Amino acid sequence: MALITTAALCLRKVDFSESSQILTLLTDKLGLVGAIAKGAKRARSGIGGPLDVMCLYDVVIYDRSRRDVLSILAQAQLLEFFPAVRESYAGFCAAEALRELLLSIECNADDGQGVLLLAVACLRECGQRGREWQALARFAFQLLRILGVEPSFTHCVVTGREPSGRVAVSFSIDAMGLVSPPHDTGRQRQLRISARTLKALRALALDEPGSGIGVDAWRGAFTLLAWLVAQQGGRKLTVAPKLDATKAV
């Protein structure tokens, strides 16, 4: 049973008894891990007090994940609690959407550091009013890359042609990219992306700042990207905006 010191973002907490908690933590050294914090809610807890969701901690864990049992949280020190996302309804909703997305994936030790860094950066940006959807869309796009999925939003995967940017385009789930006419005819698993949303998606793909792109475009981009993330784990999202396959996102 190895003793690990690691940064950890608390994604879920469940009261186990009057004094203990069961936690789901995203860590940079172990990835996603379940842990029990014995006596965390006691007045004089050796752990340092109860943990709260969407707070960043420096923790000491007895790692028992290889035995398929809960690890043991020995100590926790609060590093950051992201006050800005707790001061507005939009920020709170963005943090909840981020948390849901993180809980929908499998994250091993190899990916833990990358995913945690992205999540912390997203939370900080979500604290800037008006940037919540852009932050979430960027996070979801980068998360897909870590998961080994990189959708093509810059050109047709069949012809290589770039879209005009003036009309809605087809996106093939099987090809994981844009498909221009007539190559979109007869394909079963397709979605339509509006010109507005495509502009945001192209900015993400090209790593551009996205100046002048509206909130609705970023919201549409996150809606699609979050759905694609959830599909990797076969999960259904309830906090993120629902994707309506009958309309252009």
pLDDT for the residue numbered 150: 93
> Using an 8 Å Cβ cutoff, are 229 and 104 in contact?
yes
pLDDT for the residue numbered 132: 98
> Could you tell me the pLDDT band of residue 197, with boundaries at 50, 70 and 90?
very high
pLDDT tens per residue, range 94-151: 999 999 999 999 999 999 999 999 999 999 999 999 999 999 999 999 999 999 999 9
Q: Which of 140, 100, 147, 110 is nearest to 122 (CA)?
A: 140
pLDDT for the residue numbered 201: 98
- DSSP-assigned states of every residue in 219-249: HHHHHHHHHHHHHHHT---SSSPPP-TTS--
> Using an 8 Å Cβ cutoff, are 62 and 74 in contact?
yes
pLDDT for the residue numbered 100: 97
> Could you tell me the pLDDT band of residue 16, with boundaries at 50, 70 and 90?
confident
* Type and span of the H or E element at 58: strand 56-63
Arithmetic mean of pLDDT, 205-218: 94
Arithmetic mean of pLDDT, 19-38: 95
- Residues in CB range of 36: below 8 A, 6 or more apart: 16, 20, 21, 22, 23, 70, 71, 72, 73
pLDDT > 80? residue 196: yes
pLDDT > 80? residue 28: yes
pLDDT tens per residue, range 53-72: 999 999 999 998 877 889 99
CATH topology for 2-81 is OB fold (Dihydrolipoamide Acetyltransferase, E2P) (2.40.50)
pLDDT > 90? residue 17: no
Are 2-81 and 87-249 equal in CATH topology?
no
DSSP state, residue 201: H
Please count the other Cβ atoms lying within 10 Å of the Cβ belonging to residue 146.
14
> Could you tell me the pLDDT band of residue 44, with boundaries at 50, 70 and 90?
confident
- Residues in CB range of 69: below 8 A, 6 or more apart: none
> Could you tell me the pLDDT band of residue 18, with boundaries at 50, 70 and 90?
confident
pLDDT > 90? residue 153: yes
Task: Tell me the percentage of the chain whose pLDDT exceeds 70.
Answer: 100
- Residues in CB range of 234: below 8 A, 6 or more apart: none
> Using an 8 Å Cβ cutoff, are 44 and 7 in contact?
no
> Using an 8 Å Cβ cutoff, are 61 and 71 in contact?
yes
pLDDT > 80? residue 45: no
Q: Cis ω on the peptide bond leading into residue 182 (within 30° of 0)?
A: yes
Architecture label for domain 87-249: Up-down Bundle (1.20)
pLDDT for the residue numbered 61: 96
Q: Which of 98, 159, 154 is nearest to 124 (CA)?
A: 98
pLDDT > 80? residue 43: no
pLDDT > 80? residue 1: no
- Domain ranges, ordered by start, for the chain: 2-81, 87-249
